[in-house]
């Protein structure tokens, strides 16, 4: 698989989108950067990363085998691949905070940004962006951020982390191609942070809601069992877990 290594770029996702628009790309083409000047997270948030200390990578993936309504499984298999990578790096108590932040204990250690290419209501490809905090020790004004080093006490070579991650990503995408949708959804739900535990949420009107994470539906929306014993569903713009 082609790996393009950059010292610096605005965003690995943006870089990969630009070159994919200019030429056909081989499946699993990888862009890896030491530094991003405009690293992005979900819903327009920024992603901070100290140069050379962390894995900052985007992967081009052909997803034309998926139905349009199955696109959320791209997020599921990516989250599972990152979670399994971190477990293999001996990082403790890995959980997936819906939709796809990866936590160690209660600290965010990885973020995912997926951008799909859709033409005529058909999925064509996905830009799978992943940031994993590997060897960074300090996070300015981010008390909930951590790294593999801080959580496990071990220093890792970033390229070796990439190798583990790509193998896991290929494994889970192969399972997706094999249509193991039910099993993948179940594995994802089993690792959800605070699933079946009383939790507080903020919904889009600013109100607080108390309930239990019940799982996700097949659109990837969060299912919350509320105090009135009703299961309500929310997309990521409509609800935020406050712990």
Is pLDDT above 60 for 45? no
Looking at the chain, the whole-number percentage of residues with pLDDT higher than 90 is 81
pTM of the model: 0.93
pLDDT band at 96 (very low <50, low <70, confident <90, very high): very high
Give domain limits for the chain.
Answer: 3-190, 198-241
pLDDT band at 39 (very low <50, low <70, confident <90, very high): low
Residue-wise pLDDT for 118-151, tens only, equals: 999 899 999 999 999 999 999 988 889 999 999 9
Q: Are 95 and 101 in contact (CB under 8 A)?
A: no
Q: What is the DSSP letter of 7?
A: E
Tokens of 64: 């034309």
Closest by alpha carbon to 98, among 220, 200, 233, 6?
220
Residue-wise pLDDT for 193-239, tens only, equals: 999 999 999 998 889 999 999 999 988 999 999 988 999 999 988 99
Topology of the domain comprising 198-241: SH3 type barrels. (2.30.30)
Distance, C-alpha 104 to centroid of its chain: 14
| 3-state SS track over 98-145 | CCCEEEECCEEEEEEEEEEEEECCEEEEEEEEEEECCCCCCCCCCCCE
pLDDT band at 38 (very low <50, low <70, confident <90, very high): low
Residue-wise pLDDT for 162-192, tens only, equals: 999 999 999 999 999 999 999 999 999 999 9
Is pLDDT above 70 for 44? no
Q: What is the DSSP letter of 82?
A: H
The CATH class of the 3-190 domain is alpha beta
pLDDT band at 43 (very low <50, low <70, confident <90, very high): very low
């Amino acid at each position: 698989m082609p790996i393009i290594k950059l010292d610096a770029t605005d965003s690995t996702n943006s870089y990969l989108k630009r070159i994919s628009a200019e030429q056909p790309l081989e499946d699993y083409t990888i862009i890896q950067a030491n530094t991003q000047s405009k690293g992005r997270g979900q819903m327009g948030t920024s992603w901070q990363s100290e140069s050379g200390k962390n894995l900052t990578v985007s992967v081009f993936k052909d997803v034309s085998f998926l139905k349009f309504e199955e696109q959320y499984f791209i997020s599921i298999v990516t989250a599972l691949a990152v979670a399994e990578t971190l477990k293999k790096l001996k990082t403790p108590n890995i959980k997936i905070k819906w939709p796809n932040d990866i936590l160690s204990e209660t600290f965010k250690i990885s973020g995912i940004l997926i951008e799909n290419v859709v033409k005529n209501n058909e999925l064509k490809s996905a830009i799978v962006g992943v940031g994993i905090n590997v060897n960074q020790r300090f996070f300015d004004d981010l008390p909930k951020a951590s790294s593999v080093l801080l959580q496990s006490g071990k220093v890792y070579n970033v390229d070796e982390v990439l190798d583990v991650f790509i193998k896991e990503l290929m494994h889970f995408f192969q399972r997706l191609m094999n249509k193991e949708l039910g099993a993948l959804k179940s594995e994802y739900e089993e690792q959800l942070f605070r699933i079946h535990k009383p939790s507080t949420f903020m919904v889009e009107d600013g109100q607080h809601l108390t309930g239990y994470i019940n799982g996700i539906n097949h659109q990837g929306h969060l299912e919350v069992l509320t105090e009135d014993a009703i299961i309500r569903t929310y997309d990521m713009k409509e609800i935020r877990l406050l712990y």
